Each structure stands twice: as structure tokens, then as C-alpha cells.
Amino acid sequence: NISAWWNFGFVVGLCLVSLILTGLFLSMHYTADISTAFSSITHICRDVNYGWLIRNLHANGASFFFICIYLHIARGLYYGSYLYKETWNIGVVLLLLVMMTAFVGYVLPWGQMSFWGAAV
């Protein structure tokens, strides 16, 4: 009864570990001040060895993470996992927490898109 659709929870976990590791590396070189945040991102991409690769892995990994989450939710809807109320409610809370964390990660570079994303 178990098919390939049941692998997306594991893939979400792998993506999360990847995002945590790349995020830790990026945070070592990131400056959290509003006036220097964007220049620290530029420093990471230009001056840090393979910083551009780590940043792109982190950004694209976040997109892949959400694709896997949505496929995981779709599998849960298809197989009726929403009937287990406690498990489903925990999943909804986790989804909201992940969305809030992704928004904060989107705003951190303080570029033009980040500014207007936070303003809206």
C-alpha cells in the first residue's frame, strides 16, 4: 500500500537539513545591520570561496523545500490523512511556521525586492 508518494516527508527532512547547513554557513558571513545587510550578501557572493554556490543552493533549496511540502500535503489529502486530527493540526502549524521563517529569510538581504516584500 506504500508507494513513492510516501517519500516526500523524508525528502522534506533532507531539504531541511540542507537548508540549515547552508544557512549556518551564510550566517557566518552575514551582517544583520540594515545599512550593511545587502553589502554583506554581495561580499558572500563575490569574496567568500564558493559563497555564490552556497547562497544559490540555499535559495533554490528553499523553493524545492516548498515544492516537496506541497506534494507531501497533496499526498495527505489524497490518502485521507486529514482524518487524524492531531497529526493534521501539527502539520498545519508546522506549515505556518515554515512560511513565516521563509518570509524572514526573504527579507534578510534587504535588497529592493526584500524591502517591498516587507512593505506589502
Q: pTM (2 decimals)?
A: 0.88
pLDDT at 74: 93
User: pLDDT-derived band of residue 8, with 50, 70 and 90 as boundaries?
Assistant: confident
Cell of 10: 523524508
| pLDDT tens per residue, range 64-117 | 999 999 999 999 999 999 999 999 999 999 999 999 999 999 999 988 899 898
| pLDDT tens per residue, range 13-22 | 999 999 999 9
User: pLDDT-derived band of residue 24, with 50, 70 and 90 as boundaries?
Assistant: very high
pLDDT at 1: 64
The residue among 1 and 64 whose pLDDT is bigger is 64
Domains, the chain, ordered by start: 4-119 (1.20.810.10)
CB 53 within 8 A of CB 60: no
For 41-69, what is the mean pLDDT? 97
- Cα separation of 85 and 82, whole Å? 6
pLDDT at 111: 87
Give 51-57's long-range contacts (Cβ < 8 A, gap of 24+). Answer: 51/26, 54/22, 54/25, 54/26, 55/22, 55/26, 57/18, 57/22
User: pLDDT-derived band of residue 6, with 50, 70 and 90 as boundaries?
Assistant: confident
Q: Which residue has the cell 510516501?
A: 6
Give every CB contact of residue 117 below 8 A, 6+ residues apart in sequence.
103, 106, 107
